Amino acid sequence: MSEIYNVIIVGSGPAGWTAAVYTARAGLRPLVLAGSLEAGGALMTTTEVENFPGWPEGILGPELMEKMQEQAEKFGARTEYEDAVELSLTDPVKIVKTADNEYRAKTVILALGSAYRKLNVPGETELSGKGVSYCATCDGFFFKNREIGIVGGGDSAVTEALFLARFGKTVHVIHRRDALRASKVLADRLLGTKNVVMHWNSKVQSINGTDELTSVTLENTLTQERSDLPLDGLFIAIGHSPRSGIVSSQVETDEAGYIKTAAPTTATNLPGVFACGDVVDHNYRQAVTAAGAGCAAALDAQAFLASLP
């Protein structure tokens, strides 16, 4: 209670750990609130990262996060596996509360990340974990040689569909438009995969089953015709929502909930509060861009601390 940290970093994905590396190396002894269940962010559910610079052979997502944490702690970062439940950010000394503790700091870096976006259709909640999943790399193996569906058409959805094609008998890609939004390289690779079936101009109206998923009801967006598609597994990859709700009453956000920053800096509307990673970025959403933003937030926090009397 009596200690006032120079920096508290809320979140522990690539943005949070990079901010921790930079602030720790600057001698600021940051506190990282890594979370109790989701420490490491979205990369903890990624099997292999092939596009992070310095790893030509690829690296497992959890291993990359572990190495980032190790590097931050080597320079003096402190890690607590707690969830921030309440933040008071308007005063010169910021307060971050968890279920069991209260921490104070001169600056706070928000690396809150984002959450999976849901379809919000009948049966989705009831069958989540019973055939419905939001993470192909987490659950794809359980559907080996089965009929698998995936909803979405962006880079993330196509990447997950290609991953699922390694396991599934058939992968049914359900997309509400007549062309994929993914990059051409990924789209061409998917369309050339033999066990992939495209369901164009289709949206999921309901997810069906009692104790486990049995099918989804699709509606054609052009004709409004409906049909049932038997499935053993359904993966939903339609984007993410920023985890900004805990601070949205204090920190300015855009209409989608992403925290606004004073570009090119990571400064929010509140002095001493900085934001980085997926809670800010709804354009690129890459591990390397999140890490770069974490670096920027650390340097911005360092400059702010240096300006204090």
Active site residues: 135, 138-139
58, 30, 15, 21 alpha-carbon torsion, rounded to 10°: -40
Q: Which one, of 78, 110, 85, 105, lies nearest residue 94 by Cα?
A: 105
Cα Rg of the chain, angstroms = 21
Amino acid found at 125: T
How far apart CA 84 and CA 89 sit, in angstroms, is 13
How far apart CA 158 and CA 152 sit, in angstroms, is 8
State the Cα angle at 49 between 46 and 55, rounded to 5°: 150
Residue 142: Cβ within 10 Å count: 12
Residues 6+ positions from 263 with CB-CB distance below 8 Å: none
